[in-house]
Amino acid sequence: MKVYLFILFFLLLGAFFIITEHNLALKNTEARVELGNTYLSWVGQVLGNSVRLTGYVAKLEWLPKNLSSAG
């Protein structure tokens, strides 16, 4: 449940940042359309970066090297 709340909070915070950064008045239809387009683009970038980051982390060597040859 906490994960869902964190994700919802993150997405809402992103929307608020977009509204603030672009000075959007949501009473205007064009502003809502611009918010929708910009928001979907941002979510796409977040998902794309998450996929790239996950792929990078999966390729890392997480186990220690075998150092038993020193004995």
Binning pLDDT at 50, 70 and 90, where does residue 4 land? Answer: very high
Which pair of structure tokens corresponds to residue 41?
């683009």
Q: Give pTM, 2 decimals.
A: 0.74
In a domain, 69, yes or no: no
Q: What is the pLDDT of residues 16-65, one digit of tens each?
A: 999 999 999 989 999 999 999 999 999 999 999 999 999 999 998 888 88
- The confidence score (pLDDT) of residue 70 equals 55
- The confidence score (pLDDT) of residue 68 equals 66
Query: What range defines the domain where residue 26 resides?
Result: 2-56
Cα 30 to Cα 16, 25, 33, 40, 44, distances in angstroms: 17, 9, 5, 15, 21
Q: How many domains does the chain have?
A: 1
Neighbour count for residue 38 (Cβ, 10 Å): 17
In a domain, 17, yes or no: yes
- The confidence score (pLDDT) of residue 61 equals 86
Which pair of structure tokens corresponds to residue 44?
């796409």
In a domain, 8, yes or no: yes
